[in-house]
């Protein structure tokens, strides 16, 4: 299985096949996850000092903060390949 990469802003890319969830950072459960990840050293800030809009949870337990919205990342995933588009439609159903 080939690793597909998607741009998340400011020259940063992520491996799509490792992402478990895209989360909004303004929700309380997500804020708790972010605090725990920061305490354990699993939080990666890819915002370059700007406001985080999306938290990406990976299968390794790492969480990456991005300045772009989850919708933008999903649109970029949809342009990668038809198989990714089908997966996104299944999640939205």
Q: Which residues contact 13 (CB under 8 A, 6 or more apart)?
A: 5, 6, 7
Backbone angles phi, psi at 54, to 5 degrees: -135, 140
By residue range, what is the domain housing residue 19?
A: 5-92
* pLDDT per residue as tens digits for the range 43-86: 999 999 999 999 999 999 999 999 999 999 999 988 876 655 45
> Into how many domains does the chain fold?
1
pLDDT digits (tens, 9 = 90+) for 17-29: 999 999 999 999 9
Beta-bridge partners for 65: 45, 55
**Strands, E, within 1-93: which ranges?**
5-9, 12-15, 19-24, 43-45, 54-58, 63-66
């Amino acid at each position: 299985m080939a690793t597909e990469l998607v741009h998340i802003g400011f020259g940063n890319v992520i491996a799509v096949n490792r992402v478990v969830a895209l989360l909004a950072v303004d929700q309380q459960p997500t804020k708790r996850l972010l605090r725990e990840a920061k305490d354990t050293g699993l939080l990666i800030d890819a915002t370059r000092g700007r406001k985080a809009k999306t938290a990406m949870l990976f299968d390794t337990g790492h969480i990456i903060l991005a300045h772009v919205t989850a919708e933008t990342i999903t649109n970029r995933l949809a342009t990668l390949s038809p198989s990714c588009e089908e997966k996104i439609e299944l999640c939205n159903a």
